[in-house]
Amino acid sequence: MTETAILGGGCFWCLEAAYDELKGVALVRSGYAGGHVPTPTYKQVCTGETGHAEVVEVTFDPTVISYSDLLKVFFTIHDPTQLNRQGADVGTQYRSVIFHASPAQRAAAEAAIADFTPVWGKIVTQLAPLEAFYPAEKEHEDYFARNPWSGYCQVVIAPKIAKLRNMFRNRLKDRA
């Protein structure tokens, strides 16, 4: 049986690429959550006026990788101290946020924040109940895998993937 995590840590392309590498992760979809506009488009979300954050929906097998382990990756590959931004990506749509689907997920998120506060200092990651997840348009799926040599992928995503591969080596899927 699988579970789902909804996480926002800046651009969804970064998180999607990272979580796709982990054992126990069956599917990662980029999308939007946390706003007031039903079925938003990327163009609408980029305005910052929908209230949505760019997020990923991570479907995982908790017997292989736990929700807490997914959160360890989350707090390692993005900067949870930046309010409404990640690097040059600025706006509420790039906020650090964990949408919890159960009291257990909320408790795990609170514990992860407590664990990582000594590492990061003041963490601004929001915790919010999941109301709805809206998948992003097709062109955002597997963006890093399809565009590894684009400037954004090389400068922003590739270093995060390198950090993931170094720090979570034992959690990576076998590459054929």
Q: What is the pLDDT of residues 28-79, one digit of tens each?
A: 999 999 999 999 999 999 999 999 999 999 999 999 999 999 999 999 999 9
Position 15, amino acid: L
pLDDT band at 88 (very low <50, low <70, confident <90, very high): confident
Residue among 11, 14, 46, 153 flagged as catalytic: 11
With b meaning 16 or more CB within 10 Å and e meaning fewer, what string describes 79-113?
ebebebbbeebeebbbbbbbbbeeeebbebbeebb
pTM value is: 0.95
Average pLDDT over residues 154-163: 94
User: Do the strands 89-90 and 133-135 form a parallel or antiparallel pair, or are they unpaired?
Assistant: unpaired
Model confidence at 176, pLDDT cuts 50, 70, 90, reads low
Residue 14 bears catalytic tag: no
Give the whole-angstrom CA distance, residue 173 versus residue 115.
26
Residue type, 163: K
C-alpha 72/C-alpha 76 separation (Å) is 6
Which domains can be identified in the chain, with CATH numbers?
A: 3-171 (3.30.1060.10)
**Token reading at 11:** 């651009």
Q: Residue 58 and residue 80: Cα distance in Å, rounded?
A: 19
- End-to-end CA, the chain: 26
